[in-house]
């Protein structure tokens, strides 16, 4: 799964109105610790593909979001679950620590094979009709 990029203009649709939980990485190109976070976000995106979205927000290019969410230090990793208050942590954390902090294991993982089988079954059913 590719990590999505959100902007001041797209954040509401990508994150706030998403029907899935979303992990958001608030970062900047000049931020050293932010570079350490990137591979951890890749791990989460891969592990939870289909059940949790991962989004990056460049705070320099999107100052409105920095103000709206009071981002004072980066990296800040935030977790937005539908219907719940967002949670966040500041600074580098390994993927496993983020999983624990945000209780990501409680969200069902959609296995790639199962998702493909469900799509195939749906196609077969429509072909039969």
Catalytic residues: 31, 34
Which residues are bridge partners to 54 per DSSP?
23
d(Cα 45, Cα 51) in Å, to the nearest integer?
Answer: 9
């Amino acid at each position: 799964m590719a990590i999505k990029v959100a902007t001041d203009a797209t954040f509401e649709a990508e994150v706030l109105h998403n029907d899935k939980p979303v992990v958001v990485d608030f970062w900047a190109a000049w931020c050293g610790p932010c570079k350490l976070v990137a591979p951890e976000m890749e791990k989460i995106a891969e592990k939870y593909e289909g059940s949790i979205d991962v989004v990056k927000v460049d705070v320099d290019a999107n100052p409105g979001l920095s103000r709206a969410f009071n981002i004072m230090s980066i990296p800040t990793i935030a977790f937005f679950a539908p219907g719940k208050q967002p949670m966040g942590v500041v600074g580098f954390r390994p993927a496993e620590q983020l999983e624990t902090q945000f209780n990501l294991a409680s969200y069902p993982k959609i296995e790639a094979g199962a998702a493909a089988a469900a799509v195939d079954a749906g196609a077969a059913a429509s072909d039969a009709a």
